[in-house]
Amino acid sequence: MLSKLILAASLASAGVLAQQTAVSSSVFSNIQKFTNYAGLAYADSCPTIPNGATVLQTFNFTTVDSKAVLLQESATNSIILSFRGSAFPVNLDQDFLFTLIPLNISGTSCSSCKVHAGFQNLYSTLYPTINPAVKAALASNPGSTLYVTGHSLGGALAALAGAQLAALGLNPTLYTFGEPRNGDPNWSTYVNNLIPSSSYFRVTHYNDGVPQIPPQILGFQHQGTEYWESLSNGNSASTTYQCPGVEPTNCNAAQSFGSNPINGAHISYTNQLTAAVIFNPACGYVENATSASS
């Protein structure tokens, strides 16, 4: 019943009928690449870092059960910041604190913006440690491009980080996977003005329910352009669609996620298990992976 109410509320709210356009092979290749970077943040151990990248620093915030990884990809002169999604019970408490509260993140400027209380409260404990390391990495690698990524809760944290880093003039490009809604329409407009649509890839998968929550009826609205992997498995460029508009209604939002938004489509992206604490495919493992909660 909950899933049907959330789906109905989402579809009934303001949105647009997306003109689906299959992505190019280069766009899909980048989605694959950042699926791995989003996934590795879950891993307890990552013996093979994807794309020949180097881990600059791992941030373990044990008091709030959160984690982020800062990497350097020398071949492309890139700095990548990846946030872990939900892996422990306390993360679910953070996920489901649906209250909208005023934006209060250092460097941002939108007095009318409201954001998800659980996500902002968590991010506010992370960025005083993470941001100096990001700035130092960029300063040590002149001309480098900054990317921010994350899956699920990690995608929501990436959205907050992306807005803050953009407001500070660092011009991040975002790749999020299974990102839940994390603010109101004013927040959506603010982020879309800060980060060009060409620099925000909000990837969804099949009938993943997490991008459909919190529901629009509670005042939430997505930001960024949706890129929808339309098949449950075996996706390619030809089955991954760019869905223009703030809330396209015939891509992920048109799919019923069943009885639980945290379903099979949520824990796997771009044809591999993403939310894996051990034996994570992003780290080179081929064994059956053990997934996290979301």
Q: Which residues are catalytic?
A: 152, 208, 266
DSSP 29-66: HHHHHHHHHHHHTT-S--SS-GGG-EEEEEEEEGGGTE
CA 173 – CA 170 distance, rounded (Å):
10
In degrees, to the nearest 5, what angle opens at C-alpha 95 toward C-alphas 91 and 98?
145
CA 59 – CA 73 distance, rounded (Å):
18
Contact 246, 15 (CB under 8 A): yes
Report the C-alpha dihedral over residues 108, 109, 113, 116, rounded to 10 degrees: 20
Half-sphere exposure for 67 (CA within 13 Å, toward CB): 19
Structure tokens at 56: 């600059």
